[in-house]
Amino acid sequence: MALHLNLLHEEIAEQRQRQRDPLKLGMMALGAIAALLILFYMWKGYQTLGVKSQLAAVEADWSRVEPKVTAAQKRSKELNGIIETTTVLDTMIEGRFFWAPFLQKLSLCVAPNAQLTTIDANVSEDAKLVTVSIEGIAAGREPRAAAEELRQLLLEQLGRSYSEVKVEFRTLEDLDTIVNVAGANMAMARFVLSVNFNPLTAEEGKASTATPRAPKS
């Protein structure tokens, strides 16, 4: 059997010992970790630069769009104000009372032997009460009966279109004056009628009480 002598045994053992030195291995591990951290932070820095670039682009776009947005918001407020004003006006128009139909009905009730001298009328703010004061004179063999006939006709005519109608005499007095009507001498009476009514019909009044009237679009 051949015999081999290793004269470098001690040096090789020392070299292997140095390679296995824990401190050196730790330093190598720390170096590797540091390299990884550097790469990680570089990557994050690159991403941050990208985000900043996107932010700058968005800010640039916003600086161009902002005046238009501000103008649009201002215009929106103006339009909202116009819409609100229009809604109020529309509500006022829808809720107003038309005098022409009332005067037409009143004219149908006035007989040739009656004459109206004064009409004073008023509508409440909520347009739910119309108050009318009618002053006039009536002639006939029974002038009071002629005035009463006018009152009854007016009550009937207004009751067909309005609700809560009241027609009452505030004043009814005979006059000493004699007037000639169709060739006949007739006595005269002076009257003042107090007329109150709701311009809504009975059905509209119930609907208005249940729900507020909505303006037409």
Q: What is the pLDDT of residues 156-192, one digit of tens each?
A: 999 998 999 999 999 999 988 888 777 778 899 999 9
| Mean pLDDT, rounded, of the chain | 82
Residue 107 has pLDDT above 50, yes or no: yes
DSSP state of 183: T
Q: Which of 7-16, 92-101, 106-115 has the lowest mean pLDDT?
A: 7-16
Q: What is the pLDDT of residue 211?
A: 47
Contact 134, 192 (CB under 8 A): yes
The residues spanned by each domain of the chain are: 13-95, 99-210
| Cα–Cα dist 75/193, whole Å | 54
Split at pLDDT 50, 70, 90, the class of 215 is very low
Summarised one tens digit per residue, pLDDT across range 6-43 is 556 666 666 666 666 666 767 778 888 988 989 998 89
d(CA 135, CA 194): 9
Query: Which pLDDT score, from 0 to 100, does residue 23 have?
Result: 67
* The pLDDT of residue 134 is above 90: yes
- CATH class, domain 99-210, is alpha beta
Helix axes 143-161, 99-109, angle to 10 degrees: 140
Tokens of 11: 């040096």
Q: What are the tokens at 52?
A: 């900043």
Predicted TM-score (pTM) of the model is: 0.53
Confidence of residue 214 (pLDDT cuts 50, 70, 90): very low
User: pLDDT per residue over 187-196, tens digit each?
Assistant: 999 999 999 9
Which DSSP state fits 178?
E
The whole-number pLDDT of residue 69 equals 84
